[in-house]
Structure 1
Amino acid sequence: MSADAYKLRLDRPLDREVARLFRSQVNRARRALKKPDDDSVHTARKALKRARAVLRLVRGALAQDDFDRLDDAVRQLGRRLGPVRDAAVADSLVDGLAEEKALKPSVIRALRAELDARHAAAWIDLTADDGIEAIRTELADLRLDRDALAGIDALALHGGFAWTYRRGGERLSRAVERRRAHDLHAWRRQVKHLGYQLRVLTPIWPLVLGPTARAFDRLAEALGDDHDLDELARIAAASGLGKNEARAVARLARKRREALQSAIWPLGARCYAESPGAFAGRVTLYLAAALAEAHGAPIHPLDGVALPSPPNRLFAPVPTAA
């Protein structure tokens, strides 16, 4: 998939673009699973997260039942792929620790034996009863009805964008208060949603939103590394490793998580420095201005706020002078 495929095309009707973005990611997930392996599962899972982020961007324009049905369907499909992806990530993490010689060879061998068994079991569970083909069939049936989005404008995206930002801020506050791995992971999910939404919207003002999207990507990556280290320590504690080996893994994970979190907290504070209304409001106005520019429509100030005229997805061209 090219980088531009997951970006809003400003010269197209907004309802068609949103439907295209959702469907393209669902199709990408389905194609990836045609030849399933660790990489294709990762591709499919990431595509489903992107589809879900698009869906959440327009949640305010959809009937609640329609949104809940689609959101739950995409989430559940992603969860079914999760154990295989998690096992592959843990394998990769241990490979990296081995290259760094961060743990004794005996600990690495014990971890690899445990993780290989978990990885194999995850694949058995996923492929049982033709499970992958069942997922592909369900993906083929997923539809975001374009008619339900007919007539949406820039303002229709404001609610979903504000909701995503607000949820991330709430999860940040909870993570700061509790300092538990579970809470950081819950925060990461919201950071990922917003990061994907920013990628979609980057074309409306790349100079501003490009760096913002990269900041959220960086935050999500750091939170992901924190989660992976915590999971590795948990697996080591629950496995057949000896106490000394498990403690060595826990010490390493704790030390690296502390280093990661020293960067996570200030970056998170910067990313969530605005109120949800302010953040979503200015991005919505960027979108309105970009759509108006792309369709040759004028921008008129309204109560001190620039809104497109007419304020819908299809802008009438500016009449040429006689």
Structure 2
Amino acid sequence: MSYRLSLADAPAASIRACAREQLNGAVRELESPGDDPAKAIHQARKHLKKTRALLRLVRPALGERAYRAENDALRDAAAKLSATRDADVLVATVDALAAAAVGRLPASDLDALRAALVAEAAAARAHAPVDGAAPTDAPAGDGATAVAAAVAQELRDIHARVDSWPLDDSDWETVVAGISRAYARGRDARALAEADPTVEHLHDWRKRVKDLWYHHRLLKPVWPAVFDACAEEAHVLSEQLGDDHDLAVLRARLEQGIDGLAVDLDPLLAVVEERRGALQAQARQLAARLYAEKPKAFERRVTTCVEAAVAETGAAAGA
């Protein structure tokens, strides 16, 4: 099944099915990365983010103890994959900036910077720590492989617990409350980020936008044309904020200094700031439409749509 809830099934059953699907997908990526381990790790992390968004959708039904236990397990698993992923993102971010840097930074300087970041990414993959241990001196690639295997086993353990998640009392009201809560939290995070656009505030806002994106995807069967469009707009917004965050991380890395890199990076840092400004302006414009409704109005609309869709599905099944 795809990443969406079934209107024909009880919410608890559908939620469990979605969770299993995402966990299985992450394990497949980690155990069979093919010839692009970086892409496989990226895909595995996406599966974990979807699973965590699913948990947040039904957090009250799960209860704080179960929610925190499973959310923490998923967060910790994703964190073990982040070191190698973050290093690869820096390389991709430099590549994305290359066109904007033409004429403002010598091509040889940009090439030298890229080569230095590629070397750092390779070292991160080769010597990735396992379960918090010190970096390994294993041959290139062995560290990342060991991390992937360890995380895959952790995800199997979570998968085995899905059936015991306390979801029996969840219903469609639970689901509506979950997406409404994500919308309200995103609206608050947006206000804070626009008033004080620090890297932390913008990143926190992006997390809430991604919840809204994933929750609209889960509820797509309610009204496919509308919920799919809202999901896509939230996706675009999350990408804008994500690109901004990647640029902020790149700036921080450059300001730390890179051993052996004798390059004047001031022109590139200027390009970074210009691009961040443009991305934040685009995000504000899109957010003005995506968060136009007040939270109570949003909740009433979604409630009406869900009730109508569930009733129609039940009538069709009865016929």
Separation in structure 2 between the aligned mates of residue 129 and residue 47 of structure 1, nearest angstrom = 18
Look up the match of 2:132: none
Look up the match of 1:82: 82
Which of 175, 183, 192 is equivalent to 2:193?
A: 175
Deviations 1:8-50 (A, max 9, x none): 2222222111111111101100110003400100110001001
The amino acid that maps onto 1:111 is L
Identity of aligned pairs, percent?
A: 37
Which of 14, 17, 23 is equivalent to 1:17?
A: 14
Deviations 1:205-232 (A, max 9, x none): 0122121111101100111111111222
Separation in structure 2 between the aligned mates of residue 118 and residue 106 of structure 1, nearest angstrom = 19
Look up the match of 1:104: 106
Does residue 1:294 correspond to 2:296, yes or no?
no
Separation in structure 2 between the aligned mates of residue 5 and residue 289 of structure 1, nearest angstrom = 22
Look up the match of 2:135: none
- The unaligned stretches of length 5 or more in structure 2 are 130-142
Give yes or no for contact 1:57–1:197 (8 Å, CA) kept in 2: yes
Give yes or no for contact 2:199–2:245 (8 Å, CA) kept in 1: yes
Look up the match of 1:268: 287
Look up the match of 1:138: 154
The root-mean-square deviation of aligned C-alpha atoms, in Å, is 2.3
Alignment of 1:229-308 (within 5 A): 229-240=247-258, 245-296=264-315
The amino acid that maps onto 1:132 is A
How many residues align? The count is 297
Q: How high is the TM-score relative to the length of structure 1?
A: 0.85
Does residue 1:125 correspond to 2:128, yes or no?
yes
Give yes or no for contact 1:60–1:159 (8 Å, CA) kept in 2: no
1:277 to partner: Cα distance: 3.0
Change (3 A) 1:104 1:164: same
Separation in structure 2 between the aligned mates of residue 159 and residue 117 of structure 1, nearest angstrom = 47
Alignment of 1:31-46 (within 5 A): 31-36=28-33, 37-46=37-46
The amino acid that maps onto 2:147 is G
- The unaligned stretches of length 5 or more in structure 1 are 298-315
Separation in structure 1 between the aligned mates of residue 8 and residue 16 of structure 2, nearest angstrom = 15
1:256 to partner: Cα distance: 0.8
Separation in structure 2 between the aligned mates of residue 147 and residue 98 of structure 1, nearest angstrom = 47
